[in-house]
Structure 1
Amino acid sequence: MQYAYTIIYVENVVETIEFYKRAFGFEKKFVTPENDYGELISGETTIAFASFELGISNFKKGFEKIDKSKKPFGVEMAFTTENIETDFKKAIDAGATEFEPLVEKPWGQKVGYVLDNNGFLIEICTPIKN
């Protein structure tokens, strides 16, 4: 078995793809003609977005929608970078909301947290050195 996708259900797939391009430098892989599903070029594991409407059609029992006015879900995506200060600022300049400022952890890793344009939690960090 292999981990293939993280799919985040959002209000607007196209706006979210554009946000991730500006904030984190990912490129669009594709978006469906209906604009209800899209993927980023993000390495081995695909980051994808699907519309709330597609989620409703997939999940007959329903699901909890992201709500920017509430605390983020207890799940995050983490993006590593060697240029932590620059990339953290770039994300905020592109519309991300700072959730926790950059700090250095006792093991030497620098970590900060932002919320994306939908309110989803993103960790921006330096790689952990072995």
Structure 2
Amino acid sequence: MVALSGSHTIGQAQCATFRDRIYNNESDIDGGFARTWKRGCPANQGDGNSNLAPLHLVTPNQLDNNYFKNLIQMKGLLESDQVLFSGGSTDGIVSNTVITPQNFCLTLLLPWLKWEIMSLSLVLLDR
């Protein structure tokens, strides 16, 4: 799951998907980070629902480990992202991707490679 979520290093989310997190969930989100997103995502349901925000601020258009660094700093935009670093069993994996950039590549790419090999095997079995 950590590897798949690593794809959130690039991309955007609509306001409707993170509004509740930035307005009603101050306990596991950095206050300054939440205030930053409140400027582009009004508190009222329906207002600005389609406004977009990058999934992380540091390098939103670059495939790197800053997404995971943000999780450690409680700056995950989506609740489903922040739960990866919230005192659970995946904390160590997240920390490991931050310590060594190569670990980020392995964490992200190996599951995708396994998926592709499995998909190719299924195609070949159908022949």
Task: Provide the TM-score with structure 1 as the length reference.
Answer: 0.28
Structure exhibiting the larger radius of gyration computed from Cα positions = 2
**Greater helix fraction, Structure 1 or Structure 2:** 2
**Greater strand fraction, Structure 1 or Structure 2:** 1
The higher-RCO structure (CA 8 Å, 6+ apart) is 2
Task: Provide the TM-score with structure 2 as the length reference.
Answer: 0.29
